Amino acid sequence: MIKFENVGLRYGMGPEVLRDVSFHIPKQSFQFLTGPSGAGKTTLLRLLFMSLRPTRGLITVFGKDMATIEPTELPLLRRRIGVVFQDFRLLDHMTIYENVGLPLRVRGKEESSYQHDVLELLKWVGLGERVHALPPVLSGGEKQRVAIARALIDQPEILLADEPTGNVDTPMARRLLRLFLELNRLGTAVVIATHDLSLMDQVEARRMILSQGQLEIYE
């Protein structure tokens, strides 16, 4: 689904943040991406999401060489990827219901075709009673769950989550993990970037450990 071959990336004239990174994310796979702060996890996620291009190496996304993808093709490819940003990136003037429905709205879908799904998903992440709330009045954990729901609403082929449990308590973290596992069981590949060892210990999954710009994979 997504393949990295000898990928390197540097910002400007600085040192390489990622060096010779090679891996493959197969369909329906589940993996954690971990490593110390500043190891390049977020950078690697941004490469996966095509919001950065590598300085060297080859990245293939859904069978297409990232170097040759036209800008007009990017939105269509991004629709196949769900992303949970570390800083949530919710739109403050929209209710959480509207934020979660946004990906479907930009695809031109009628609200009547998705309102039930959005409400169900919000119930699932524990926000069924707060559909009218605006993001500024939500706690960090609630914002996190809205961001997750928004990433999942259109059943992406791959989900990239940057510290998705960083702002929630342990029971909610477990609940979200179960949500990711269910999503994975139904066919979505999942990549979770996290520091949370206890979260990783709950699941037998591939671990991709970034350290000093290099990637080690433990199957």
Binding site for another protein (CB under 8 A): 9-14, 49-53, 55, 71-72, 74-76, 78-79, 83, 85, 89-91, 93-95, 97-98, 101-103, 105-107, 110-113, 115-117, 119-121, 123-124, 131-132, 150, 152, 155, 175, 178-179, 182-183, 186-187
From 95, 149, 141, select the one nearest 120 (Cα to Cα): 149
From 46, 80, 45, select the one nearest 64 (Cα to Cα): 80
**Cβ at position 186, least distance to another protein in Å:** 5
Phi–psi pair at 16, nearest 5 degrees: -70, 125
**Cβ at position 218, least distance to another protein in Å:** 27
Q: Which two tokens stand for residue 218?
A: 């433990």
3-state secondary structure of 137: helix
With respect to another protein, which residue has the nearer C-beta, 60 or 207?
A: 60
Q: Give me the sheet containing 81-84, strands edge to edge.
A: 81-84, 158-162, 189-193, 30-34, 206-211, 214-218
With respect to another protein, which residue has the nearer C-beta, 123 or 217?
A: 123
**Cβ at position 91, least distance to another protein in Å:** 6
With respect to another protein, which residue has the nearer C-beta, 25 or 149?
A: 149
Which residues make beta-bridge pairs with 158?
A: 81, 189
d(CA 85, CA 63): 25
With respect to another protein, which residue has the nearer C-beta, 110 or 204?
A: 110
Which residues make beta-bridge pairs with 171?
A: none
Helix residue ranges per DSSP H, 72-203: 74-78, 96-106, 111-124, 140-152, 170-185, 197-201
**Cβ at position 94, least distance to another protein in Å:** 5
With respect to another protein, which residue has the nearer C-beta, 157 or 207?
A: 157
With respect to another protein, which residue has the nearer C-beta, 35 or 103?
A: 103
**Cβ at position 170, least distance to another protein in Å:** 14
**Cβ at position 33, least distance to another protein in Å:** 19
- Show the CA angle centred on residue 140, arms to residues 177 and 127, nearest 5°: 65
